[in-house]
Amino acid sequence: MQSARRKILQKEDLVRMLAIWRFKEHRIVFTNGCFDILHRGHLEYLSEAASLGDVLIVGMNSDRSVRNLKGENRPVQDEETRALALAMLPMVKAVVMFSEPTPEELIRVVKPDILIKGGDYREEEIAGAETVRQSGGQVVILPFIEGHSTSKIIEKLRG
């Protein structure tokens, strides 16, 4: 578990790791989300995202950010638990939390070669897409995996 915790980075640590990965000419892939209750849809999405490059960095909404986006009853799991769950996945190389409404600022720091979002987004809605394209990167929208969502899991649990 200690090795997984080392993958949860502050922005300053991320900058150091990015320098190493770039020196090694790794393709940097970035995605983001709340990842409140990790489920099959998340796992397939992250696996596919990771397959498009060498290093998958996940920007994760802080508890405050999730509450602002999803409402007072969210997140179900606190940010430390969510970050650790993501960090324990072998395809994820780094998890970085952000509190802003969008990951735009974090994307400017990462400057990914590939920015990934799920098929429930249109390209013009993707925060940071223009920034990534302007720096020579690409934006990829992965197909949405039907039937798997945190909201549906919460509904089912509430019965």
7 in Cβ contact with 92 (< 8 Å): yes
Indicate the number of domains in the chain.
1
Domain span including residue 149: 2-158
In the predicted model, what is the mean pLDDT of the chain? 92
Q: How many residues does the chain have?
A: 159
CATH number of the domain encompassing residue 108: 3.40.50.620
pLDDT tens, 126-142? 999 999 999 999 999 99
pLDDT tens, 7-52? 999 999 999 999 999 999 999 999 999 999 898 989 999 999 999 9
| pLDDT for 123 | 85
Q: Count of alpha carbons within 13 Å of 32, Cβ hemisphere only?
A: 27
Cis before 112 (ω within 30) = no
Q: Model pTM? A: 0.92
CA distance 111 to 94: 14
